[in-house]
Amino acid sequence: MVHECKNEDRIRSLETDRTESRVYIKQINEHLHEIRRDIRGLKEAPSSCSNREEFKHKLIMELVKIITTLILMLGAVFGIIKIIEG
């Protein structure tokens, strides 16, 4: 019985991690859509130095958000691996 309980806990943990991973993937997709929208807006806007600098700043901030989310996802994956290995 104890062995079954450990497996149930592992399964619940994996399900939770899977749900968190889906949330992270959704956030990454939203950030990518924002970046695409900003790039399209920059192409349509008149080319001024301030717009370009503002765009570069926004782009860097979005990339930092995406990288942070990816690092969190990698942590979740490594956590899942640790749980599976027991």
Average pLDDT over residues 28-43: 77
Task: Give yes or no for residue 10 having a pLDDT over 60.
Answer: yes
Domain boundaries, the chain: 2-85
User: pLDDT digit string (tens) for 56-82?
Assistant: 888 888 888 888 888 888 888 888 877
- Against a cut of 0.75, is the pTM above it? no
DSSP per residue over the chain, as a string? -HHHHHHHHHHHHHHHHHHHHHHHHHHHHHHHHHHHHHHHHHHHS---HHHHHHHHHHHHHHHHHHHHHHHHHHHHHHHHHHHHH-
Average pLDDT over residues 14-22: 78
User: pLDDT digit string (tens) for 40-62?
Assistant: 776 666 565 567 778 788 888 88
